[in-house]
Chains A and B, each alone.
Chain A
Amino acid sequence: MSATALSGGRRWSLLALAVVVTGVLMFPVYWMIMTSLVPSNDLLVAEPPLVPPADSATTEAWTGVIDDQPVGRWLWNSTVTTLGAAIISTAVSTLGGYSLSRFRTAGQQAMGFTLLFSRMLPGTLLIIPLFVLFAGLGMVNNLWSVTLVNIAATVPFTTWLMKGFVDSVPAELEQSAMIDGCGRLRALWYVVVPLLKPGIAATFVYASILTWGDFLFARTLMGDPQGWTVTVGIATFIGEFSIDWSGLMAIGLMSTVPMVLLFIVLEPFLSRGMTAGAVKG
C-alpha cells in the first residue's frame, strides 16, 4: 500500500473522520434495518425512534413477508438469471477481451467501436424491439429471455474490462508456451486465464450486480408473477396506498444480502481489478 506513515494522533483523527463519513453514508442501510425491526405503529409517528426500542423490536416483518409473499420464488428467479448472465457474460467477455487485446485486425477494431456504441443504446429503447423479438419467438415470460437481455447489457462493458486485464498479461508468456508446443487454446486456458483471476472476479461481480439489480428488463419481459425476480416483486410494494414499510425494508435487505456476500468474498480482487480493466481499457 502506498499509504504513508503518519503520526499516532493523525491516524486516530483520520479514523474519527472515516467513522463520521461512514456513519452518514451508511445511514440509509441503518434505517432499513431499523425499520424492518420496529412494528409499524411505532414507525408511523411524527417523531420516529432513532434506535429500535428494546422492548418492541421484533422480527415479525421478516417472517411476515416470507409468509405473505412468494419471496423464495422471487429470490430463486433472481438467482437463476443472475448466475446464468454472470457466467455466460464472463466467458464471452474473457474470449472477446482476449481477441481484442491480442489481435488488432480490422474485425477487432470494428468490434471495439461497436461495443462502445452499444453502451449508448438506452435500455428503454433496446427493450422495445427485444420485447417484439421475444414475443415473436414465444419467449416472453421465460427466464431465459431476461438472462439473455442482461448478458447483452453487460457484455459491452465487461469485454472492455477484460481487454484491459489481458493487456496487462505479457504476450510473451503465451508465446513461450506455444513455442514449447502448446496449442493456442491450451495456452489461453492454462497460461492466460489463471493470471486473469482478478479480472474474472471483477467481471463476474459487475455482471452479477447489474443483473441482480435489473428492474427494467425483468419487469418488461416477465408479466407472469411466477417469473418475477426480486426487484420486480419489490417494486410492486412501492406506490401502494398503505405500504408495509417494515416488510418492504425486510425484503429489500433480504434481496441485498446475496450481493453483499458476493461482494465481500470478491472485494479484495476488485479494487485491483477495476483499474486494470475499466480504466486502462
Chain B
Amino acid sequence: MTSPATGTTTADPPGPSTGPAPGPRPLQRRAQRRRRLFAYGTLAPTLLVVAVLMAYPLYVALDLSLRGGQISDLLDLSGNPYTLGNYAEVLSSSGLLADVVRSVVYTLGVVVPAFAIGLGLALLLNRAFPGRRIIRPLVLLPWAVPGVVVAAAFSWMLDSSYGVVNYLLRTVGLIDENVAWLADSRTALAAVIVPTVWKYYPFFTLILLAQLQSIPAELYEAARVDGASPVRQFRHITWPAIAGASTLAVVITAIGVFREFDFIFPLTGGGPNEATQTLAVRIYTEAFQYFEMGTATALGIVTMAICGFFLLAGGRSIRREFS
C-alpha cells in the first residue's frame, strides 16, 4: 500500500500536545471519544453488511456442513447430529481431485490469456494515434456485457450446426467438419474458457492503462537517448511501474474466476460428462439440484480453503500488495 498514512492517526489534529483544544484532560478525552466514535461510526455500515450477509451465512454454512443425516428442515437442524461425515465424504470422493484440477485449469486458462490481451491492449492504447478515443471505450466494452449474455452469444457462435466459429474455421481450412464445441467433453472446457477471457480482459486493460499513464514520459526519452531498445525499455521502465498493479489485478481476478459460475452454468451446466464441472458449479448442483446441503456446504468450505492455500502459496509479493 502506498498510503501516505504511516501513523495511526492521520486525519486528526495531531496528538494531545498540539490538539486544537489544549486544555484540561476531560476535553481531550472527549475529543478522543468522539474520534473513536467517528472511526467506528463510518465503519459501522460495512460491519453490518459483513456481519449479516457474510459472517452469519458463513456460520450457517459451517453449521450445515457439520450436520449428519438427511436434512429435512433447513431452519431446524436440531435433529441432525454433529459429524465430520460430510467432509469425509467430500474429501474421499473420487471426483474431488478432478474438480480441483478443472477449477485450476479454468482459472489459469482464463487469467493468463486475459492478462496478456489486457497488457497488449494497454500498451497499444497508451500510444498516441488517431482514433484512440473511439477505440478505447470499444475494447473495454465486454466488461459491461452481463456474463449470461456473453454465454448466450458464445453458445450461438459455437453452435455445432450453424455456428459462425465452425463456419470460419472450415473456410480457412483448420477443420474439415463441424465440431460440437460445447457438447464434446474434449473441447467443452476450452469452449467455456474463451467467453470468460473475453469478459475479463478489459479489467486488466483498464487497470494497466491507468498505471502506464502515470509513468513520466521523460523516463522513456532518457532511455531512448541512451539507446535502450524497446524491449529493454519495457523491462526496466514499464514493467517495474506496473508489476505491483499487475499482481494485484491478477490475484483479484483469479479469485473471482476460481469461483465463477455465471458462464459455465448457462453454457454447459457442468457437462458433458462433468468436463466443465468446477468446484463452484459442483457446489451449486449438490445444493440446488440434489439438495445435499451438507455435502454442498462442506465442499464450499473446502473450496475456500483451497483458495486460501493458493493465496498463501502465492508468496510474499501478494501479501505485501494487500496489507
Contact = CB atoms under 8 A, between A and B. Distances in A.
Interface of A: 1-6, 11-12, 14-15, 17-19, 21-22, 25-26, 28-29, 31-32, 35, 43-48, 50, 91-93, 95-96, 98-105, 107-108, 111-112, 114-116, 118-130, 132-133, 135-136, 148-149, 151-152, 155-157, 159, 167, 170-171, 174-175, 178-179, 184-185, 188, 209, 212-216, 220, 230-231, 234-235, 237-239, 243, 245, 248-249, 252, 255-256, 259-260, 262-264, 267, 270-276, 278-281
B293 A128 contact: yes
Q: Which of A98, A125, A156, A234 neighbours the largest number of chain B CB atoms within 10 Å of its CB?
A: A125
Given A120-B308, A125-B301, A213-B146, A149 B252 contact: no
B180 to A, nearest CB: 14
Contact of B138 (A22, A148, A215): A22
Interface string B140-183: 11111111111111111100011010010000000000000000
Contacts of A209: 143-144
B131 interface: yes
A149 B53 CA distance: 7
Given A155-B46, A237-B152, A263-B144, A120 B138 contact: no
A122 B49 contact: no
A245 B121 CA distance: 31
B234 interface: no
Nearest to B311: A120
A119 B304 CA distance: 10
A5 B252 CA distance: 34
A257 to B, nearest CB: 9
Contacts of B284: 124, 127, 216
30 contacts: A4-B128, A5-B128, A6-B128, A25-B117, A25-B142, A26-B138, A92-B49, A95-B42, A103-B8, A103-B35, A111-B43, A121-B304, A122-B279, A125-B301, A129-B64, A132-B74, A170-B4, A178-B20, A184-B34, A184-B38, A188-B42, A209-B144, A215-B265, A215-B266, A216-B265, A238-B155, A252-B152, A260-B144, A273-B210, A280-B1
- Interface of A, secondary structure class, is helix
A142 to B, nearest CB: 15
Given A125-B300, A216-B262, A249-B152, A267 B140 contact: yes
B60 interface: yes
A278 B148 contact: no
A128 B42 contact: no
Contacts of A50: 164
B239 interface: no
A179 B20 contact: yes
B296 A15 contact: no
- Interface size class on chain B is 35 or more
B124 A31 contact: no
Contact of B43 (A95, A152, A220, A243): A95
Contacts of B74: 132, 135
- Interface of B, secondary structure class, is helix
A275 B245 contact: yes
Interface stretch (B9-17, B83-91, B92-100): B9-17
A1 B128 contact: yes
B54 to A, nearest CB: 5
Nearest to B49: A155
A259 B202 CA distance: 14
A278 B249 contact: yes
Contacts of A5: 128
A209 B206 CA distance: 15
A111 to B, nearest CB: 6
A99 B44 CA distance: 9
Q: Which of A15, A175, A263, A279 neighbours the largest number of chain B CB atoms within 10 Å of its CB?
A: A279
B46 A174 contact: no
A133 B60 contact: yes
B248 A263 contact: no
B40 interface: yes
B156 A99 contact: no
Contacts of A214: 262
A3 B144 contact: no
B212 interface: yes
A246 B154 CA distance: 13
A124 B128 contact: no
